[in-house]
Amino acid sequence: MENTLYVFVYGTLRVHEGNHSLLRDAKCVARHAWTNGVLYDTGVGYPAMATDSMERVYGEVYEITKEHLRCLDRLEGFAGDGEINHYERIDQTVYTDHGPLQAYVYVYLPHQVTDLVAIPSGDWKCHRYLEEEDL
């Protein structure tokens, strides 16, 4: 199973979110998962995660194909290592109730989050729900 690809999603790719259709035929291997990082509200309808060893970001893990990965790279503006990317794609440990695994995670670089507001819960769905409740 060394060729198995996993992706950790924490925003609009999660189930019942706007871009989840890109993962419609991917296998969900963990509905409840977390990884180290800080989640930010970009203010334009989607979150961004930056790496951080002390905080957690919550999301889901999917087993994906190379075609899924190409589609996700296009969505996230990832052209490749060393290129000018919107999100960087990294390989990171993700924790699930089935144990840890390595998964791709799309992240912002530190300079991209300097003016963004952190989401204290680390959970985009929870953040959106609480924002709607305030309306």
Say what the pLDDT of residue 3 is.
76
> Catalytic: which of 55, 60, 76, 88?
76
Q: Where are the alpha helices (DSSP H) in the chain?
A: 66-76, 124-134
- Give the pLDDT of residue 1: 43
CA distance 39 to 112: 12
List domains and CATH numbers for the chain. Answer: 5-134 (3.10.490.10)
What's the confidence (pLDDT) of residue 2?
57
**Distance (Å) of CA 132 to CA 4, 46, 106, 126, 135:** 37, 15, 26, 10, 5
Diameter over CA atoms, the chain: 47
Contact 25, 50 (CB under 8 A): no
In whole angstroms, what is the distance from residue 119 CA to residue 79 CA?
27
**88 is a catalytic site residue:** no
* The token pair that represents 57 in the structure block: 């970001």
Q: What's the whole-number mean pLDDT along residues 38-53?
A: 96
User: Residue type at 91?
Assistant: D
Q: Is the pTM of this model over 0.75?
A: yes
* Mode of pairing for the β-strands spanning 99-107 and 27-36: unpaired
